[in-house]
Amino acid sequence: MIASSARPAIGRGLRLQWEPAQNSHVLLYPEGMIKLNSSAGEIMKRCDGQRTVADITADLERTFSATGLGADVEAFVAMAIDKRWLEIQP
Amino acid sequence: MSANPNSLLETPDAGPRADRPGPPLWLLFELTYRCPLHCVFCYNPTDFSRVGAELETEDWLRVLHEARALGSVQLGLSGGEPLVREDLEIIVAEAHSLGYYTNLITSGVGLNEARIQALKAGGLDHIQLSFQDSTRQMNDFLSSTRTFELKSKVAALIKRYDYPMVLNVVLHRLNIDHVEQILELAEQLGADYVELANTQYYGWAARNRDQLLPSRDQLRRAEEATQRFRDKPGQRMRIFFVVPDYFERRPKPCMNGLGSIFLTITPDGTALPCHAARMLPGIEFPSVRSSSVDSVWYDSPGFNHFRGDSWMKEPCRSCPERHKDFGGCRCQAYMLTGDAANADPVCDLSPYHHLVTDAVARADGARPPAEQPLIFRDHR
């Protein structure tokens, strides 16, 4: 589980960017590329090491006029940390 | 430079293969064939000294722009030793500003504080430091002398500039028994990732194959030693062990199929669908000196030749796995069978598979194969 006060950031050595040719956000790492689906892209682009998981959830809920995204965001962040796409700022 | 082209590929989503191919996602600049080292396992062409003049800075920059417009996103900077080029920093900065993920593949020779500072400022994303030394230097390295000092200095620089410390070590018959020592040294250097990449047999390595191919026993012991190291308490390096394809029964999906994602530009501007493809006979590869990257990638006969599966022969043509491994490596098929359209003989369905198993059997023999001397990469 990931604490809602954690501040995730893009993992060291990775780069997140919008890629027009792929029409999606991609995560670049040495010798590879992960094409993110739109919700993963929306979450990851908010992971700047400043905002907490709770901030990110609130922002997404505001932006997409949704509620109850917390569990999905936390599950994604936990998975992304496991894959080293994200890391938690101390 | 990496001696192991296929370790470079992790199969990004390249889109549908039918009709128009996807973009050249992966761009590799072999900036120069010049290199201070003389590695016996280098995959550069053995006649590299006869290759024409290197591209100018503005040519490289133009190719960067054109390829990026098509959707290229990964840029490998290799050689030779890319640090030999004094315009490396200019190329990196331009690539970064265009949105490439930039990866420098270097022996570390020539990397000093001023240069790494400029590379960092220009936005270089990643450095892969190789222990690609010749066998003489590998001995030197294993005995922790001169080379080790150089690598330590470079490793410290890489860490100080906040790059992950990624080490690539090419394994072969003459050093594979030292895997444990190699890993200990990597640990002392503070490596985060270590790739133990067995030699693949192209260029100089193909010339030296019988002296470089390990025995099955050696390979097994090296894998066991690697696993023991991984299991050590508190061990934090991530270690990748790449088995040589000669020991496999199915070929690697070489370059994810030629002309599907990978574009190499050689020092003289020749565009290739894989590092070694220049050897393929009867196929003319275009030059970025006279053609745009768009026409190189989409229109040139050289790049279209091995797209799709109509070029295949049996047993590939009717094989249910043909879209998984694309028949393996065209260069290996050519080098071993004389016909680049044959199945890669690594595949046990190939009628030439015995060429691979015979080489392994020789490597397994009690006597070291052939009294022939090792041939060091050199101008000839």
Position B199 scores a pLDDT of: 86
B301-325 residues labelled b (16+ CB within 10 A) or e (exposed): ebbbbbbbbebbeebbeebeebeeb
Position B93 scores a pLDDT of: 98
Partners of residue B128 in chain A, C-beta under 8 Å = 30
Position B16 scores a pLDDT of: 42
Position B175 scores a pLDDT of: 86
pLDDT tens string A24-63: 999 998 878 899 999 999 999 999 999 999 999 999 999 9
Position B141 scores a pLDDT of: 60
Partners of residue A26 in chain B, C-beta under 8 Å = 73
Asked if B163's CB is within 8 angstroms of A13's CB, the reply is: yes
Q: Taking Cα atoms as reference points, which of B258, B180, B301, B321 lies closest to residue B9?
A: B258
- DSSP string for A27-44: EEETTEEEEPPHHHHHHH
Minimal C-alpha gap between B371 and chain A (Å): 38
Asked if A33's CB is within 8 angstroms of B12's CB, the reply is: yes
Choose the closest CB to B126 out of A20, A30, A34. A30
* Residue B186, φ and ψ in degrees, nearest 5: -60, -40
Partners of residue B101 in chain A, C-beta under 8 Å = 15, 28-30, 33
Bridge pairing between strands B193-198 and A32-35: unpaired
DSSP at A20:
G
* ipTM of this predicted structure: 0.84
CB B29 within 8 A of CB B72: no
Asked if A32's CB is within 8 angstroms of B71's CB, the reply is: no
Split chain B (380 residues) into runs of 10 and give each run's mean pLDDT: 37 50 95 81 72 93 97 94 96 97 92 96 93 60 64 90 89 88 87 90 81 92 96 91 91 92 96 92 95 97 94 96 94 94 96 94 72 62
Report chain B's C-alpha Rg in angstroms.
Answer: 20
Choose the closest CB to A15 out of B7, B71, B101. B101
CB B226 within 8 A of CB B241: yes
CB A42 within 8 A of CB A62: no
Partners of residue A22 in chain B, C-beta under 8 Å = 13, 71
How far apart are alpha carbons B189 and B180 in whole angstroms? 14
Asked if B101's CB is within 8 angstroms of A29's CB, the reply is: yes
B interface test, pick of A15, A27, A36 with most B CB neighbours within 10 Å: A15
CB B113 within 8 A of CB B161: no
**Closest chain B residue by Cα to residue A33:** B12
**Chain B interface with A: residues with Cβ < 8 Å:** 7-10, 12-13, 23, 25-26, 70-71, 73-74, 76, 99, 101, 103, 125-126, 128, 162-164, 166
**Token pair in block for residue B58:** 């503005």
